[in-house]
Chain A
Amino acid sequence: MEASITLKKVGKLVGDKTILASLTFGVERGSLVAIIGDNEAGKSMLLKVISGIEYQEFGQVFINGLDSQKRRLEVMSSIGFVSHEIDLDPWLTLEQNIRFMAMMYGVDTEKANTHMVQLARELHMIPYLKRLVQDISPGIVKKGMILRALIHDPEILIMDDPTAFMDAESYRHTWDLLLRLRGKKTILYVSQSLTEVEAAHDRILVLEDGRIALDGSLDKLLGSTFEFHQFQIEFEKLPEDLFKKLANLPKVKNPSRIGNSIHFYGRERNVFFEVLNAAASAIMKDISVKKLGLQDLMDAKFAKDGIH
């Protein structure tokens, strides 16, 4: 597949601090890529650099094969950007904000109108178009920002927390639209909601201190957890000696105690049966087994140290 976005050794400094450290990767045309990571990991800065809001100190960003700094004017038409914070003009109506941006990108008035109405229908926001932005709730405004970013029909859509402030219905409408665009446009987004990322991605990039810590599909990333499962057993009473006995079983990893519950990880499900056998004399109230998810992967203990 052809690369839509290519980064070559991209580095970004803010003062003396390295925000992005020699990032090299490509994003395939038409793919849906999610970027996750801790606060200050450099996610938003990465989006800003790719979308041309801020230049990088080192390396090069190529958009559809064109150097984004040297051929900025050609590149910018193919990008639509949605920022994390609300950045529509509050003194204009939603429609005026969108029309203004269509004009800035030289979109034909009639074409812009048709496109705006079509997208507004999909996002269920026709009733809000004539209202001043300052009178609309932030979740609806955020949908308006996505509409504005799409008005010039860009090939690449870059979004920083696209569903921030949205209620469940708006969230669903937004993702219905974005998933319809999947394959037609390259979509790159940052989200703090791991559930959102698990549900919508072709590929996930995990950023850590300005570097890519993990890269791949959810299955591939979870493959790095070596089929670990998370177990929890709640006892009526968990004596200290029983906890120690269970914790010292050879296949039990990272045991911890919360009240009368023992919490641990194991590579195979049969670890669980060994623990159950060892604890057969005690009265159990509840048991649970869970396959590791993105949340567990993002837990610093696993992302940084692995399971010991």
Chain B
Amino acid sequence: MTTVAFMVILPLLLHIAITMVMKNILVRSLDQVPYEVWVFPGIIMLIASVSTFSVVYRDLFDLRIHKKSFIPITLAPYGKTQLVLGFLVTTIIEALVYVIIAMGVLTVLLPEPFHWTAYLFIPLFTFVFNFLLGNLMITFSVLTDRISTYLLVMIAIFFFVLFGTGVLVEFEFYPKTIGIILSYSPLSMVLSDLRGILFFNRLNWHLIFIPVFVSVGWTWLNGYLLKRKLKQ
């Protein structure tokens, strides 16, 4: 019940703290999209990030460092990459539930809803975004042994998602070099491509394939790291 309440309250909080404030400053994006509409996919990705963090912590880091059921899980007849994939699937499914509820809540607050196809594209892109972000969090969940270090890293990742992937403002507002570098981050590519398809009906396949390829490679790497860490 608490989780369901949180799923509804979180998008409301973000809308109040981000959208309602920022729309008075930026009003419209550089492509003349109203800010509260432009920021919608970013808010959704933020919510996906928060749920990814909680699920990776619950299913992997907490079980591992507190010696709960993690070792018995690793003794089951699966390869380590399969286990990582299992953690990712759980993460993505739970994040999608958060995202679907958030889309419903935030749509009520929009001046007019998106075209119905947008509500199919957003979960699809969230899937890719979470595939990447989940891998990033899994890497640190495997490599870190102290909760303090882990939290520090996770907060840093959250700040990176917030300010370094184009969630709040366009990269054109950043110093030119930094804006270019950040736009080449696979996480930024997903969000940028999602906005392209939502606002301009323009899909850059390479912006979706690169993150997917990176994620697949990263999943394998996480499997290898897990195997090394466990000495199995």
Contact = CB atoms under 8 A, between A and B. Distances in A.
A54 B67 contact: no
A55 B231 contact: yes
Nearest to B69: A89
Interface residues of A, number: 25
A87 B70 CA distance: 8
Interface in B60-94: 63, 67-79
Contacts of B231: 54-55
A54 B79 CA distance: 15
Contacts of B74: 53
Given A55-B231, A73-B79, A77-B77, A101 B72 contact: yes
A89 B68 contact: yes
Given A85-B67, A89-B63, A89-B68, A52 B76 contact: no
Interface string B206-224: 0000000000000000000
A81 B77 CA distance: 13
B232 interface: yes
Contacts of B69: 87-89, 97, 100-101
A94 to B, nearest CB: 12
Contacts, number: 54
Interface in B99-117: none
Given A53-B230, A81-B75, 4 more contacts: A53-B75, A90-B68, A101-B69, A106-B77
Nearest to A97: B69
Nearest to B73: A104
Interface string B107-137: 0000000000000000000000000000000
| Interface bracket on B | 10 to 19
Interface of A: 51-55, 72-74, 76-77, 79, 81, 83, 85, 87-90, 97, 100-101, 104-106, 148
Contact of A53 (B63, B68, B78, B232): B232
Interface of B: 63, 67-79, 230-232
A81 B70 CA distance: 13
A165 to B, nearest CB: 16
Contacts of B77: 72-74, 76-77, 105-106
Nearest to A100: B69
B232 A55 contact: yes
Contacts of A83: 71
A53 B79 contact: no
**Max chain A Cβ within 10 angstroms of own Cβ: one of B63, B67, B76:** B76
B39 to A, nearest CB: 35
Nearest to A57: B231
A89 B71 CA distance: 11
A51 B69 CA distance: 16
A79 B230 CA distance: 18
B188 to A, nearest CB: 35
A298 to B, nearest CB: 29
A52 B68 contact: no
Contacts of B63: 89
Contacts of B70: 87
A76 B76 contact: yes
B78 A73 contact: yes
A105 B79 CA distance: 13
Contact of A148 (B67, B72, B79, B230): B72
B75 A52 contact: yes
Contacts of A106: 77
Contacts of B76: 76, 101, 104-105
A74 B77 CA distance: 7
A139 to B, nearest CB: 18
